[in-house]
Structure 1
Amino acid sequence: MTATESRSTVDGAGTASTALYSYDLAPTKKEGRRWGAYNVFTLWANDVHSLGNYAFAIGLFALGLSVWGILLAFLLASALLFGLLTLSGYMGHKTGVPFPVMSRIAFGIRGARIPAAVRGVVAIAWFGIQTYLASSVLDALIVAMFPGLRSWEDHSALGLSALGWITFLALWAVQVLIVSYGMHVIRRYMAVAAPTTLITMCALAVWMFVRAGGSISLSTAHPLTGGAMWLQVLQGAALWVVIYGTFVLNFCDFTRSARSRGAIVRGNLVGIPVNMLFFAGIVVVLSGAQFKLDGRVITSPTDIVQTIPNLVMLACASVALVVLTIAVNLLANFVAPIYVLVNLFPRKLNFRRAGLVSAVIGLAIMPWNLYDNPVVVNYFLGGLGALLGPVFGVIMADYWLLRRARVNIPDLYREDPTGDYHYRNGYNARAIGAFVPAAAIAVTVALVPVFHLVAGFSWFVGAILGAVIYSAIGDRTRVFQDVDGESIAVAAE
């Protein structure tokens, strides 16, 4: 964070522990809240149109869903996400705290490291993978502009070509530079990237529609029908929610800076249902137009971009995709691990240093090798992703059902054994007791082949089980101080 984003520092209620408190973890004060509805909208305008999301949505067409089936799947998913993300966003607005601190409410001041670590590991891995995908687009553009550099792709080290190393490190450095200036620069970058992304993808869809003679194929040659179609619609909607299982957890990292609840609702309304249906419309035009032209099912917008005959148009489209991927990475995969690391080492790390550490880890894991290994992506990252549902279920049940949104914010930063969130040695055994069985079942559903027909619903299975179990065994005896995050201040040693 930067000095321009105000943090609370003093409160007569007691002293915060330096093991739990730092400037970047402190609640955002009212004067530091600068995110309006447009900023929330740009968050979704960037993230929804990521290359990975396009690959997933176009995959539904390849699996046999018709245009109308794809639109229905996204309509259902956007309605669910609007509700989940609005509830999650309200939590950030009221408390003003980032996700690792929010987790302390349910899991305890030390137990919160468990859900935060799961979220952080998933984010760092995808940060590296998304940077690699963006560098691949940049590779293709450079070779198109300078064919003589094609030979640089013939030499590799550690699984990546010489040209790949140059483009990857360049994009890696750009992202580190942006993050080093804090959330206010990320907010400004999104504000510029969002319209660029929307205009570019809309123009690409229009170009394809004209190429296809003003019409598109509504399905592949062998479309799904009957029960198989409806199952795929529901699976597609569920998997789209799973993709955002990370965001529904740490949406508070952004809405802690929202000016009002109304800004969250308006930004979500345009950014989720409206924007996601716009996204689905682009997907069906790109997929249907290409299939009509040559019977080929594309896997990503990059397949179409690379066919653009005009070099200037190709360059503009490729740069727009790179700008988009950087925006997605900053939002979904960079901010979350930064707060996780600051939470783990508040005495040594601030927002800028934690960003550098996250980026170095994202480079050290050599993400191109991860992406090229389906076992790693499907089992390791898929298994971790399945854990996010139970975390969400426990946190939401604790905050909304048991506490009724009443939170003692100063105690989130104190190690006092009598504090509301100290529980037993800093761990809430009830939260962990609900999380473990729910997580075990969710991972089993996600990864064991016998459950492949319902694997797409693993996040929901985990979230519902986590919420139900925790609601049954959660502590209802404590009396919580109802504190408004806008006015709370916490003392640092």
Structure 2
Amino acid sequence: MIPTVTRAVLDSDQMGAEFAPDPRLYNADLAPTEPSQRTWSTYNYIALWFSMSMEVTTYMLAASLIAGGMNWKQAVGTILLGNLIVLIPMLLNAHAGAKYGIPFPVFVRASFGPVGANIPAMLRAIVACGWFGIQSWIGGQAIAAMVVVLWPRAEHMPSVTWLCFLGFWALNMLVVWRGVESIRFLQSFSAPLMLILSLVLLGYMLHRAGGFGPMLAAPSKFATHAGFWHFFFPSLTAMVGYWATVSLNIPDFTRYAKSQDSQIAGQAFGLPVAMTLYSFVGIAVTSASTVVFGEPIWNPVTLLGKFHQPWIALLGLVGLLIATMNVNIGANVVGPSNDFSNLAPRLISFRTGGLITGFLGLAMMPWKLMATFGSYVFGWLVGYSGLLGPVAGIMVVDYFLVRHKQLDTYSLYRRGGIYEYKNGFNPVALIALILGVTVALIGRFVPQIAFLYDYAWFVGFFLSGGLYYLLMLGHARRLPLALTDTKGNV
């Protein structure tokens, strides 16, 4: 068995007198949360997942399964299974955040080292920047589509789309500037509202299509089982990849939990229920669009643009903007802001990190990432899952199998401690990461082994996690069995 490396977390009295963190690894945003900051209840985590799930890219993800040939039962089953799978690493990585009050870029120092932690943090941050750009582009498109409904001449004015895009992007930046507590307020307020708006849209399309029978009567388009499985497995990987980013940086949220039970219960209920419920709305409405308009319309912005009724346009505008802003701030700003702050804590605060995220999101040209549903699902989602799956595998194995849920919080903010490894890098983690990413993505470029890419997240997670464990066996035996605090406690 691998020896456990432990040290009791210093209490609040010791923090002021003796805790002298390295300024290269510490600022107020990266510090462990105080008890007074732990205000998130079970409801807040349920609201977090409902607000992050009920947004346009979730709808489009579900709708793409219908457009790809699945019937509604196959699509719902694929989505539910994918979210139950990703819930596992989500809860495992969430544990450290709730227990120690630390964000993702600090947590990952335990496995990658204080300097090496910047590598997985930047991988996650760059993906989040891409998502931020995508969400901003969708929000801008939604506003532009509503403008066209109310002012048809704008359809032939490309500048309107760009102005709406930049305006929505700026609105997101304003929320970032106001800080993390504004995010909690926004999510708590919008979760029940989004549920109501989604049900209204479903009811309207149900009426237009003539009931659930016509809406859900379309059979699967796959003539053979082989054809179905060929589409199913990369689609399942995309479902897992959809939340692969948050499964890494979930400590950024659980560090504010009132208790371990509150975040576990909130997430275990909120993630699968919210995703399945809202995905069903996307599936049903897309199926109804086939009945009403003669073709499956997977993009809700395009769908709303076909109605040409101002009240529907206004309702759709409100729903899309609230949903898109919620997930953009909650899923795509909190994590990378902390990641960028981790690069230079003395220079980059949470706010500055959020601004960096916004500008990089623009630079990644989201209009190209969302060109087709194929590029969105099988290019973007599956592709980056191969980058993040290996990181998740290493983190889970390190925390639960190598360290047995014991971290030395004191040393996470210092150089030269038990997490220093070699010049701040853990060579074992880097080797496991590189091999995991290489094997997971090589199928993208070598058709003969394309199946590896179809399972990119799974391949990276298990390969990197298993390799990390084996390589750390020898290293862990050289670590001290225990460290004690100044009171002599373990």
Partners of 1:258 and 1:288 lie apart in 2 by: 39
Which residue of 2 is the match for residue 95 of structure 1? 100
**Shift in alpha-carbon separation, 1:58–1:224, aligned structure 2, 3 A:** farther
Which residue of 2 is the match for residue 106 of structure 1? 111
**Shift in alpha-carbon separation, 1:116–1:299, aligned structure 2, 3 A:** same
- 2:52 aligned with 1:47: yes
What does 1:123-142 align with in structure 2 at a 5 Å threshold? 123-142=128-147
Worse overlay, 11-20 or 446-455: 446-455
Question: What letter matches 1:140 in structure 2?
Answer: A
The structure 2 residue matched to 1:193, chosen from 190, 194, 203, is: 190
Which residue of 1 is the match for residue 441 of structure 2? 443
Among all aligned residue pairs of Structure 1 and Structure 2, give the percentage whose two residues are the same amino acid. Answer: 31
Partners of 2:343 and 2:443 lie apart in 1 by: 31
Q: Could you tell me how far 1:165 is from its partner in structure 2?
A: 2.8
Partners of 1:329 and 1:174 lie apart in 2 by: 11
Contact 2:54 2:274 in 1 (8 A): no
- Listed as ranges, the gaps of 5+ residues in structure 1 are 1-6, 154-160, 485-493
- 2:288 aligned with 1:289: yes
Partners of 2:34 and 2:396 lie apart in 1 by: 23
Q: Could you tell me how far 1:472 is from its partner in structure 2?
A: 0.4
**Shift in alpha-carbon separation, 1:407–1:121, aligned structure 2, 3 A:** same
Following TM superposition, the consecutive aligned residue runs of length 4 or more in structure 1 with deviations greater than 6 angstroms are 373-381
Partners of 1:219 and 1:46 lie apart in 2 by: 30
- 2:322 aligned with 1:317: no
Partners of 2:164 and 2:130 lie apart in 1 by: 18
SS at match of 2:256: coil
What does 1:40-439 align with in structure 2 at a 5 Å threshold? 40-151=45-156, 153=157, 161-214=158-211, 215=213, 216-220=215-219, 222-369=221-368, 371-372=370-371, 383-415=383-415, 417=416, 419-439=417-437
Partners of 2:45 and 2:210 lie apart in 1 by: 37
**Shift in alpha-carbon separation, 1:75–1:129, aligned structure 2, 3 A:** closer
**Shift in alpha-carbon separation, 1:59–1:363, aligned structure 2, 3 A:** closer
Contact 1:138 1:319 in 2 (8 A): no
Worse overlay, 342-351 or 163-172: 163-172
Worse overlay, 360-369 or 451-460: 360-369
Q: For 1:34-77, what per-residue CA distance to the aligned partner results, in whole angstroms no more than 9, with x for missing partners? A: 11112111221122233222222111112221111112212212
Q: For 1:207-263, what per-residue CA distance to the aligned partner results, in whole angstroms no more than 9, with x for missing partners? A: 111211112233357345434334544443332011111110001111111111221
Worse overlay, 314-323 or 15-24: 314-323
SS at match of 1:317: helix
Q: Could you tell me how far 1:327 is from its partner in structure 2?
A: 1.1
**Shift in alpha-carbon separation, 1:71–1:149, aligned structure 2, 3 A:** closer
Partners of 2:355 and 2:308 lie apart in 1 by: 39
Q: For 1:130-154, what per-residue CA distance to the aligned partner results, in whole angstroms no more than 9, with x for missing partners? A: 2011101100111222334445x1x
Partners of 1:15 and 1:193 lie apart in 2 by: 41
Worse overlay, 361-370 or 245-254: 361-370
Partners of 1:25 and 1:104 lie apart in 2 by: 12
Partners of 1:9 and 1:164 lie apart in 2 by: 55
SS at match of 2:443: helix
Which residue of 2 is the match for residue 469 of structure 1? 467
TM-score relative to the length of structure 2: 0.89
> For the aligned residues, what is the CA RMSD?
2.6
Partners of 1:451 and 1:56 lie apart in 2 by: 25
Which residue of 1 is the match for residue 9 of structure 2? none
SS at match of 2:216: coil
Worse overlay, 298-307 or 36-45: 298-307
Partners of 1:55 and 1:353 lie apart in 2 by: 31
**Shift in alpha-carbon separation, 1:445–1:364, aligned structure 2, 3 A:** closer
Count of paired positions: 468
Worse overlay, 205-214 or 349-358: 349-358
Q: Could you tell me how far 1:8 is from its partner in structure 2?
A: 10
Partners of 1:51 and 1:349 lie apart in 2 by: 31
Question: What letter matches 2:428 in structure 1?
Answer: R
The structure 2 residue matched to 1:23, chosen from 20, 28, 35, is: 28
Question: What letter matches 1:75 in structure 2?
Answer: L
**Shift in alpha-carbon separation, 1:340–1:295, aligned structure 2, 3 A:** same
Partners of 2:347 and 2:53 lie apart in 1 by: 34
- Listed as ranges, the gaps of 5+ residues in structure 2 are 1-11, 486-490
TM-score relative to the length of structure 1: 0.88
Question: What letter matches 1:463 in structure 2?
Answer: F
Partners of 1:307 and 1:372 lie apart in 2 by: 20
SS at match of 2:77: helix
Partners of 1:376 and 1:82 lie apart in 2 by: 25
